[in-house]
Amino acid sequence: MRRLLVPLIVGCLLVSAAPAQARYGRSPVNTWVRSGDEIVRRANGTLRLWEAAGSTHRVVWSIRNLGRHIYPTLHSVIFFGCGDGKGFRFRYTTPDGADVTWAVNHRGYRRSGVDPGERAWLNIWITSTRSNRSYTCRLTGDGNGIRDRVWLNPHS
């Protein structure tokens, strides 16, 4: 009986510790981009931009935490963006101006502390390096595993 009691107690301790991490869980997010007065919202939208070669265009990319105040609380939102290609350069900066391009393109830029109903945002600086080009790419917002996306389509 004693041989069974020790593994049973250890098992109960491990199981009882697991719910402490469930408070973060997964939560839906809403992703959208804005350029001037044009706003393209989540999942099925495409923001089309026309730029002259050599010009730079600013786009604001937002991710809203759609979780409720009760369940689940998101620990963070993650930005996954477009890399350079087809005659366009993409640079990502935080609202305070820090360059986070490498993180957005490689592992995702994680923004912690986005409460339910709140949003995080980045600036996207798109530079056209050649004329007569078109590039379609996907921006993805992640709420700890539940993803939402919007498309960018710059032309020069």
Task: Look at residue 15 and tell me if it is in a domain.
Answer: no
Token pair in block for residue 6: 């020790």
Task: Look at residue 113 and tell me if it is in a domain.
Answer: yes
CATH, residue 32: 2.60.40.10
Radius of gyration of the chain (CA): 21
Task: Look at residue 12 and tell me if it is in a domain.
Answer: no
pLDDT, averaged per 10 consecutive residues of the chain (156 residues), comes to 57 45 63 89 81 92 80 76 92 97 95 86 95 91 86 90
Task: Look at residue 3 and tell me if it is in a domain.
Answer: no
Number of domains in the chain: 1
Whole domain around residue 78: which residue ranges? 25-155
Note whether 49 and 153 are within 8 A (CB).
yes
